[in-house]
Structure 1
Amino acid sequence: MAVNNELFKGTLQTIILNLLSENERMYGYEITQKVKAITKGELLLKEGALYPALHKLEADGLLDTATEVVGNRVRKYYSLSKSGEKEVVNKLQEAKDFIAHLQVLLNLKSSF
Structure 2
Amino acid sequence: MNNAHLYRGSLATIILKLLNEHDTMYGYEIVQRVDELTHGELRLTEGALYPSLHKMTAQGLLEVKVIKIGNRIRKYYQLTESGTKETVKKLAELEQYIKTMRALVNPRFR
In which range does the TM-score fall when normalised by the shorter chain? over 0.9
Cα RMSD, aligned residues only: 1.3
Higher helix share: 2
**1:5: how far off?**
1.8
Does 2:72 match 1:73? yes
- Give me the identity figure in percent: 51
Aligned 8 A contact 1:3 1:43 in 2: no
Number of residue-to-residue matches in the alignment: 109
Structure 1 residue ranges, 4+ long, deviating more than 3 angstroms after superposition:
none
Residue number in structure 2 paired with 1:96: 95
When normalised by structure 1's length, the TM-score is: 0.92
When normalised by structure 2's length, the TM-score is: 0.94
Extract unaligned runs of 5+ from structure 2: none
Does 2:27 match 1:28? yes
1:70-107 per-position Cα deviation (integer Å, ceiling 9, x unaligned): 12100000000010011100000000000000011111
Q: Equivalents in 1 of 2:38, 2:78: separation in Å?
A: 22
Residue number in structure 1 paired with 2:13: 14
* Corresponding letter in the other structure for 2:15: I
Extract unaligned runs of 5+ from structure 1: none
* CA spacing shift, 1:3–1:93, aligned 2, 3 Å: farther
**1:20: how far off?**
0.0
